[in-house]
Structure 1
C-alpha cells in the first residue's frame, strides 16, 4: 500500500507526539500602520544564511497574521529562561495582567522600530520576504536585516511545560 494512500494520523496522536519535541520559545512582534502585535510561537527556524532568512509559523486565525502582512516587518525574539511571563502573556494566558499587553514587560526599539524584548537570548529583525499557507498556519519567511545576541540560556517548551537547558558533564 502506498504511504500516501493511508489516512492521516489522528490529530490527538499527532499533538501528543509533537508535544515531546523540545522547541525554543519566541515572541514574534510587529508594529506599523496595521497594528502592534506580539504572539508566542514555538515554530521558528533558520531557512538560509545567504541570504539570511528565518521562518515563523502563525495560526491564520490570529490577528497578528494580517498585521505582519500589512506592516511588512516582524521581529523574532528568542526568549531566555527568565522570560516565562512574556511567553505566557503573548500566548494569551498571563498569570498577571492582560493577555497580549506590551506594558507589563521591558522592551526596546529595534533598528527597524519594532518592539524587541530588552534582554532576549537573540533577536532577528526581518522584512517580510515571502509567505505561504500550510494547514491551519501561515508560514512567514523573513529576510533578516538585523540580528542581536544576548548571553542568557533559552527558554524551552516540551511536554506542555516551559523548561530550561541544563548542561551535564560528559555530554
Structure 2
C-alpha cells in the first residue's frame, strides 16, 4: 500500500464490527471496519474478512456481525489478534442460529452466506440478513488509526 493511499484512508470514518461464526463447536471472530448494507429488499449485508475467517464462514454457511458500542474499543483490539479469545463475560455462547453474540453491542446482524468473493488480501462476504437487532449504546468509530465516539448522535 502506498503511503498516500494509507494517508488518505485515515481521513475516512468507519464503524467497528466483530464478525463471528462457529464451526464444530469452535468460535471464530475478528475485528473489521468494512461493513455495508447492500440491499434493503432482500436485506443483504457486505463484510470483508481475512481468508482464515472466510474459510470458517463458508464451511458454517452463516456469520454474525456485532457492531461495537462506543465502550468496546478493548474488544476491537482483542479481536485484531491472530487467535482472539472469547471471554465468556463479553459473549453469549451462541444465538438461536449457533453464532456467538456480543453483550452490549450497538447492533447485531445474523446472516446466511449469499456469496463470497476474493478481493486482494481480503474476502468479501455477502450475507442474507436473517435477524437484525439494535442495541442501546452508541456505535464505536474508527478514524485516523484510532477509536472515537461517534461524531454525531
User: TM-score, length-normalised on structure 1?
Assistant: 0.83
Unaligned runs of 5+ in 2: none
Give the alignment's Cα RMSD to 1 decimal. 1.8
Does 1:82 find its partner at 2:71?
Answer: yes
Distance of aligned partners of 1:139 and 1:145 in 2 relative to their CA distance in 1, 3 Å threshold: same
Distance of aligned partners of 1:73 and 1:13 in 2 relative to their CA distance in 1, 3 Å threshold: same
Q: For residue 88 of structure 1, give the secondary structure of its aligned residue in structure 2.
A: helix
Q: Secondary structure at the match of 2:87?
A: helix
Alignment equivalent of 1:162, drawn from 106, 122, 147: 147
Q: TM-score, normalised by structure 2?
A: 0.92
Deviations 1:6-42 (A, max 9, x none): xxxx622111111210000000000023842110000
> Does the CA contact (< 8 Å) of 2:91 and 2:101 recur in 1?
yes
Out of 25, 42, 45, the residue aligned to residue 54 of structure 1 is 45
Matched, 1:120 2:105: yes
Matches within 5 A, 1:100-111: 100-103=84-87, 105-108=89-92, 109-111=94-96
Does the CA contact (< 8 Å) of 2:27 and 2:86 recur in 1? no
More strand by share: 2
